[in-house]
Chains A and B, each alone.
Chain A
Amino acid sequence: GAVVSQHPSRVICKSGTSVKIECRSLDFQATTMFWYRQFPKQSLMLMATSNEGSKATYEQGVEKDKFLINHASLTLSTLTVTSAHPEDSSFYICSARAGRGREQYFGPGTRLTVT
């Protein structure tokens, strides 16, 4: 299967600071990347969808000014959590796919803890 990486795997930051998470497709070109959030013992919650070179589409209830998504190339998307608060602490997972209707491959996730 295709490989998607995320960096960092864990990050601890102070309240009010910003954190950037990277998602890379290592062996394929990802026309679309997705960002999910997952709370303990719950399923994935889609935050936003980004297509390379265009603005991200955010799901209802997700603040686009707080969760900045950039999909600058076919192999890299970034999620920046701005002015982080403790309630932003969560497991953030990205996925990528090569084309419409194709399989999605997930990254290993990033555990964010805001103190």
Chain B
Amino acid sequence: TQLLEQSPQFLSIQEGENLTVYCNSSSVFSSLQWYRQEPGEGPVLLVTVVTGGEVKKLKRLTFQFGDARKDSSLHITAAQTGDTGLYLCAGLVDYGQNFVFGPGTRLSVLP
């Protein structure tokens, strides 16, 4: 069983649309990160959230950490083709050693 679940697994939308992807767990995380990975490249860190209820914005991307620090969402406004990629969330359980990665949401933004 995955410690972290991500939904949807796949998402294909038209340029200009809005979308939200989710990262859920039954575990409490002391820290949670979102990454984007493009084909043939390593993941690139987008944001780190550490406080329950925290909201961070990165241009058209809005990240929210759940109040109980068990879940997170990523909302993209007016998606662009350059947003296409694999979005991964990763959580650090109880100030542990390693981040645990979710299975990812594969986003395709069509022109």
Contact = CB atoms under 8 A, between A and B. Distances in A.
A34 B92 CA distance: 14
**B interface residue count range (under 10 / 10 to 19 / 20 to 34 / 35 or more):** 20 to 34
A101 B98 contact: no
Interface of B: 30-31, 33, 35, 40-45, 48, 86, 88, 90, 92, 95, 97-99, 101-104, 106
Interface of A: 1, 4, 6, 32, 34, 41-44, 46, 49, 91, 93, 95, 100-101, 103-109, 111
A101 B88 contact: no
A101 B92 contact: yes
A44 B101 contact: yes
A43 B45 CA distance: 15
A108 B41 contact: yes
Given A46-B98, A101-B95, A107 B48 contact: no
Contact of A104 (B33, B86, B102, B104): B33
